[in-house]
Amino acid sequence: MTAEIERAAHAYCPVCTPDPGRGDLVTALCGATHPFWGRRERPVNNCPACEALAAGTVYPCGHTGSER
């Protein structure tokens, strides 16, 4: 279960992680670091922590979701 969440549905800061490749180690908004497997493969299993953080104005890294 956890593994599926780790693989599929974390949200990423577009500034810190502009273009992750498959298998690249990335840090999700919730702080989990793991290989990136694509954002849209499994929209069913969204990480609740990431969802909450992505809905916020400022990401934990200090960037904003709408930064230019």
Q: Report the interface residues with Zn ion, using CB under 5 A.
A: 10, 13, 15-16, 28, 30, 47, 49-50, 61, 63
CB of 32 to Zn ion, least distance (A): 5
Nearer to Zn ion, 16 or 20 (CB): 16
Q: Is the CB of 23 or the CB of 27 nearer to Zn ion? A: 27
What burial letters (b/e) apply to 23-53, b meaning 16+ CB within 10 Å? eeebbbbbeeeeebbeeeeeeeeebebbeeb
The Cα–Cα gap between 46 and 4 comes to: 9
CB of 16 to Zn ion, least distance (A): 3
